[in-house]
Structure 1
Amino acid sequence: MLVLLDTYLGRQYKTRQDNTIQYNTIQYTSSPFPNFSTSQLLNNIPISTQLQSALTGVNGPYLIYLLHTLQYTFISSVIGSIFLASLVLFRPPLFLTPTLVKSYVVTKRLVQYFWDPEPTNDTASRSPIWCLGEEYLVPEKSSTSAPVIDSPPQEGGYLPAQSAQSPPPTTPSPRLHQIVKDGGWPTAFLDDFEAKIWLTYRSNFPAIPKSQDPKAFSAMSLSVRLRSQLVDQGGFTSDTGWGCMIRSGQSLLANALLTLRMGREWRRGLSSNEERKILTLFADDPRAPYSIHKFVEHGASACGKHPGEWFGPSATARCIQAAGVYITGDGSDVYEDTFMSIAKPNNTDFTPTLILVGTRLGLDKITPVYWEALKYSLQMPQSVGIAGGRPSSSHYFIGVQESDFFYLDPHQTRPALPYKDNVEDYTVEDIDSCHTRRLRRLHIKEMDPSMLIAFLIRDENDWKEWRRAVKEVQGKGVIHVADKDPALYGLGGERDGAIDEVETFDDDDDDTILDAPSIFVHSSLKRLILQGYKANTNHTQCSK
Structure 2
Amino acid sequence: MEAVLAKYENQINAFSEFLEDLPHTEEPVWILGAHYNVRTEKSELLADVRSRLWFTYRKKFSPIGGTGPSSDAGWGCMLRCGQMILAQALVCWHLGREWRWGQEDGVSEPYQRILHSFLDRKDCCYSIHQMAQMGVGEGKSVGEWYGPNTVAQVLKKLTLFDDWSSLAVYVSMDNTVVIEDIRKLCRQSGRERLRVGACGWGEPFDTFNPLEPGSSQTPGIHKTYCPHSHSEWRPLLLIIPLRMGINHINPVYIQAFKECFKMPQSLGVLGGKPNLAYYFIGFIGEELIYLDPHTTQSAVESEPGVAVDDQSYHCQRSPRRMKALSLDPSVALGFFCKDEEDFNSWCSLVQQEILKKRNLRMFELVEKHPPHWPPFVPPTKPEVQTTGAEFIESTDKLFESEEEFEILNV
TM-score (norm 2): 0.71
Structure 1 counterpart of 2:70? 237
Pair 1:431-2:293 in alignment: no
Paired residues of 1:331 and 1:525 also in contact (CA < 8 A): no
Equivalent residue pairs, number: 320
> Is residue 279 of structure 2 the alignment partner of residue 396 of structure 1?
yes
Q: CA deviation at 1:537?
A: 5.2
Alignment-derived partner of residue 194 in structure 2: none
SS at match of 1:319: helix
Q: In structure 2, what residue type is equivalent to 1:439?
A: P
Distance in 1 between residues matched to 2:372 and 2:255, nearest whole Å: 31
C-alpha distance in 2 between matches for 1:300 and 1:257: 26
Q: Distance in 1 between matches of 2:242 and 2:62?
A: 33
1:291 — aligned with what?
A: 127
Q: 2:332 aligns with which of 452, 469, 473?
A: 452
Q: Distance in 2 between matches of 1:266 and 1:255?
A: 11
Matches within 5 A, 1:465-504: 465-473=345-353, 474-475=357-358, 476-486=360-370, 491-492=371-372
Q: Please list the CA deviations of residues 323-349 of structure 1 after superposition, one character each: whole Å capped at 9, or x if unmatched.
A: 366989954311111110011237971
What is the distance in 1 between the residues matched to 2:246 and 2:378?
A: 23
Q: Equivalent residues in 2 for 1:43-122 (5 A)?
A: 120-122=20-22
Give the 3-state SS of the residue equivalent to 1:205 in structure 2.
coil
Amino acid at match of 1:235: G
Alignment correspondent of 1:52? none
Map Cα deviations across residues 196-253 of structure 1 (whole Å, 9 max, x no partner): 000000000001248xxxxxxxxxxxxxxxxxxxxxxx53111000000000000110
After TM superposition, the structure 1 = structure 2 runs for residues 115-514 of structure 1, keeping only pairs within 5 Å, are: 120-139=20-39, 149-150=40-41, 186-209=42-65, 235-271=68-104, 272-273=107-108, 274-302=110-138, 304-323=139-158, 331-345=174-188, 349-424=232-307, 426=308, 430-437=309-316, 438-473=318-353, 474-475=357-358, 476-486=360-370, 491-492=371-372
The separation in 2 between residues aligned to 1:372 and 1:511, in whole angstroms, is: 34
Per the TM alignment, residue 122 of structure 1 is displaced from its structure 2 partner at its CA by 3.9
Aligned residue for 2:279, secondary structure, equals: strand
Letter of the 2:122 counterpart: P
Q: Aligned partners of 1:197 and 1:133: how far apart in 2?
A: 16
Q: For 1:513 and 1:457, how far apart are their aligned partners in 2?
A: 19
Larger-gyration structure (1/2)? 1
Contact 1:327 1:511 in 2 (8 A): no
Structure 1 362/432 Cα, relative in aligned 2: closer, same or farther at 3 Å? same
- Give the letter for the 1:123 counterpart: P
Bigger relative contact order (CA 8 A; separation at least 6): 2
Q: What amino acid sits opposite 1:477 in the alignment?
A: R
Say if 1:418 and 1:479 are closer, same or farther in 2 by CA, change over 3 A: farther
Q: Partner letter of residue 201 of structure 1? A: Y
Q: Is the 8 A contact 1:403 1:443 kept in 2?
A: yes
AA in 1 matched with 2:251? P
Displacement after TM superposition at 1:118 (Å) = 5.1
Which SS does the other structure have where 2:60 is aligned? strand
- Gaps of at least 5 residues in structure 2 are 1-16, 161-168, 191-230, 382-398
In the other structure, the counterpart of 1:73 is none
The separation in 1 between residues aligned to 2:70 and 2:401, in whole angstroms, is 35
Residue by residue over 1:410-458, the C-alpha shift from the partner in whole angstroms, topping out at 9 and shown as x without a partner, is 000001023421233x2xxx30100014221111111111111110011
- The 2-side partners of 1:388 and 1:244 are apart by 10
Structure 1 contact 198–408 (Cα < 8 Å) conserved:
yes
SS at match of 2:118: coil
Contact kept? 2:179, 2:365, Cα under 8 Å: yes
Between 437-446 and 323-332, the greater mean CA deviation after superposition:
323-332
Q: Is the 8 A contact 2:241 2:405 kept in 1?
A: no
Distance in 2 between residues matched to 1:316 and 1:396, nearest whole Å: 13
Query: For 1:511 and 1:477, how far apart are their aligned partners in 2?
Result: 27
Give, in whole Å, the separation in 2 of the partners of 1:243 and 1:236: 11
Does the Cα contact within 8 Å between 1:450 and 1:539 map onto a contact in 2?
no
Deviations 1:394-419 (A, max 9, x none): 11111111111111100000010234
Query: TM-score under structure 1 normalisation?
Result: 0.54
Aligned mates of 2:179, 2:406 — CA distance in 1: 32
Q: Using a 3 Å threshold, how does the CA distance of structure 1 residues 237 and 462 change in structure 2: closer, same or farther? A: same
Write the distance in 1 (CA, Å) between the matches of 2:137 and 2:19.
41
Distance change (3 Å), C-alpha of 1:328 and 1:235 = closer
CA 1:471–1:511 in structure 2 vs 1: closer, same or farther (change >3 Å)? farther
Structure 2 partner of 1:69: none
Using a 3 Å threshold, how does the CA distance of structure 1 residues 407 and 296 change in structure 2: closer, same or farther? Answer: same
Do the aligned partners of 1:359 and 1:525 also contact (CA within 8 Å) in 2?
no
Q: Distance in 2 between the 1:269 and 1:258 partners?
A: 14
Aligned-pair CA distance for 1:137: 1.2
Q: Deviations over 1:449-498 (max 9, x none)?
A: 11111100112221121111111224343232111112xxxx3279xxxx
> Percent same amino acid among aligned pairs?
31
In the aligned structure 1, how far is the partner of 2:172 from the partner of 2:18? 45
Counterpart Cα distance in 1 of 2:75 and 2:81: 12
Q: 1:384 to 1:537 in 2, by over 3 A?
A: closer
Alpha-carbon contact 1:395-1:407 (below 8 Å) kept = yes
CA RMSD of aligned residues (A): 3.0
Q: One-letter code of the match for 1:433? A: S
Task: Return the letter of the residue paired with 1:484.
Answer: K
Flag structure 1 segments of 5+ consecutive residues without an equivalent.
1-116, 140-148, 151-185, 211-233, 495-509, 516-523, 529-533
How far apart are the structure 2 equivalents of 1:464 and 1:537? 33
1:370 CA drift (Å): 0.7
